[in-house]
Each structure stands twice: as C-alpha cells, then as structure tokens.
Homo-oligomer: A and B are copies of this chain.
Amino acid sequence: MPRVSTDQLAARRRQILDGARSCFADHGYEGATVRRLEQYTGLSRGAIFHYFRDKEALFLALAEQDATRMADVVAEQGLVQVMRDLLDSARTPGSGPDGDAGDRSWLGTRLEVSRRLRTDPEFRARWQAHSGALTAATRARLERQAAAGALRDDVPVPVLAQYLELVLEGLVSHLAMGLPAGDLDAVLDVVENGVRATSHTR
C-alpha cells in the first residue's frame, strides 16, 4: 500500500484548519464541540486530533495562520494595509478566505478567548508565540522604512511598531463586536501619516 504523501498530509491539515475556522466563526470557541468540528471538517475526531493535540492547539494554529498571512501583507505593504484589508472584509460579509461567514465572526472568537488569555499564563505564552510572526514582520518593515528615510525619526521604531499593533487590536475588537466601520478609512489615514516622515515637523 502506498504511503500518504507529504502533499496529502498538508492537504488534510488544511482541510481541518478550514473547517475549524468556519466552526469557530459559527459557534464561538466554547460552542465548537468535537462533534461540530467533525461535521465542519468532514473528518473523525481521531483524524483531527492526529494532526492537532486538542482544540486549543487547533485554535492557536488558526491564530498562527492569520499572523503568517498578515505578516506577508506587512512585508509588502505594511500593517496599515492589513488593517485596510480587515476593514474591507468586515464590509463584505461572506468574503472570508474560505467562503465562510467572513472574518468578523472569527475575530469575535478571538475576543472570546480573552478570558483564557487573562487567566492562563501558559496559554498566553503560546498565543504570543503564535502571533510573533506579525510583530517580527512589522518591526522589520519599519526598520527598512526608517533606513530609507520614509519614517518619522523622533520616535524609536519599536514604539511605532507597538503603536500600529495597538491600533490593529482596536480595529479587531471594534469589528469583532460588530460596531460600524464609519470613518475608519480616514482614521487609518491618520495612523498611516502618523508614522511617516513627511507629515511631521523636524
């Protein structure tokens, strides 16, 4: 009998992640039971937990997937573009990467785990490790921009990076709660200009 190829393993892993993302979006973290995860992924619990140790590991893998995707956009276009993309996808429900209910519901799931993050230091450490790709990409891009003279030079790069990440957290929270997008494009313009060299006196 032929062994399962690496491609097949990766495809199976992707199938689980896609199904789990929709399941979390539709039912939240607590509501994503093993039975529902089976339904959404089309796989048995045995298969699912062969790839992921437990529901927490599945959730963190999705957070890591997000961070990696966002880090790709950051490297090319910056963190503000990530925010603009989030804003767009919140405006067009159903446009989620997997054709599911959109990013908004998934963002809500992320907020739901806030209690866990707050009360469980180990979980928080794992969460931070999984979202580290985004922080690294943001800093790297800002460093490149600073070297090119495109960045304001009166504030250290790590502070600017944390500033952008804080705005991203605000946007995630805002959209996840279903609050109106309103003037947020103009707000993001303020944020973007706020880190650039040209909009500030020397």
Q: Give a binary string over A161-202; 1 marks a CB under 8 Å from any B CB, 0 the rest.
A: 011001111111110111100111011001100100011110
Is residue A114 within 8 Å, beta carbon to beta carbon, of the partner chain? yes
Is residue A41 within 8 Å, beta carbon to beta carbon, of the partner chain? no
| Contact, CB under 8 Å: B155 / A114 | no
Cβ-neighbour of A168 out of B108, B160, B170 (below 8 A): B170
Cβ-neighbour of A166 out of B115, B170, B176, B198 (below 8 A): B170
Main secondary structure of the interface of A (DSSP, over half): helix
Q: Give a binary string over A114-148; 1 marks a CB under 8 Å from any B CB, 0 the rest.
A: 11011101001000100000000000000000000
Cβ-neighbour of A190 out of B28, B114, B119, B163 (below 8 A): B163
- What is the CB-to-nearest-CB distance from A192 to chain B, in angstroms, rounded to a whole number? 11
| Contact, CB under 8 Å: B115 / A108 | yes
Residues of B within 8 A of A178 (CB): 117-119, 121, 124
Residues of B within 8 A of A105 (CB): 118
- In A81-123, the 8 Å CB interface with B consists of 104-105, 108-109, 111-112, 114-115, 117-119, 121
Residues of B within 8 A of A114 (CB): 108, 111-112, 173, 176-177
| Contact, CB under 8 Å: B111 / A173 | yes
| Contact, CB under 8 Å: A174 / B169 | yes
Closest B residue by C-beta to A120? B178
Is residue A149 within 8 Å, beta carbon to beta carbon, of the partner chain? no
Q: Give the docked Cα–Cα distance between A104 and B104 (Å).
A: 24
Closest 6 CB pairs of A and B: A170-B170, A111-B114, A169-B170, A173-B173, A166-B170, A117-B177
With A124-B178, A162-B184 known, 10 other A-B pairs at CB within 8 A are A28-B115, A108-B118, A111-B111, A112-B112, A118-B176, A124-B179, A128-B179, A159-B183, A162-B186, A199-B200
